[in-house]
Amino acid sequence: MEENVLYQHWYKGERHVFFHEESRTFHLQNHWISYVMRILPNGQPGQLYFGKRIRDRKSFDHLLEGAVRSHTAYPEDGIFSLEHVKQEYLSNFRLTRAAELLKLTDYTIESIAISCGYRDPLVFAKTIKKKYGASPLRYRKTYQLERLDS
């Protein structure tokens, strides 16, 4: 059996909880969001995706991050990590790039937000503040002051 449905909630004929035994993947969804988890190689559940609703599929392997790193849960593996999933890696990459642009350019906050994949500058500003403890403008000014002092 390729697919087990552990629990079915029927709303207009749609299932909202899926389990794919072959890929050991759970996909929970409602009309707006999806949450995808997988049983990882060490037997622990790991988050693969949380965000805008996506279509169910038999495998979500494309969401696993496959970067080689020196500090992994299994040294013999070199790739498997409990610390990062692909989605988090992308988010961290976007925020790091945004911080560089804030420090090194005079681009507007809005253009930096858009170039880093944020459609809404307000969401971008809140995300920067959460990550770095300051609004994008304050973050930029603090860095510029540090550059002047050195």
CATH number at residue 98: 1.10.10.60
Domain's final residue, options 82, 112, 127: 82
| Structural domain that includes position 61 | 3-82
pLDDT on residue 76 = 52
Number of domains into which the chain is organized: 2
Say yes or no: 26 and 66 in one domain.
yes
Mean pLDDT of the chain: 78
Kindly state whether residues 77 and 41 are assigned to the same domain: yes
Same domain, 66 and 105: no
Asked whether 125 and 135 are in contact (CB, 8 A), the reply is yes
Task: Say what the pLDDT of residue 8 is.
Answer: 46
Tokens of 44: 């622990």
The helix/strand count (H/E) of the chain reads as 4, 5
pTM exceeds cut of 0.85: no
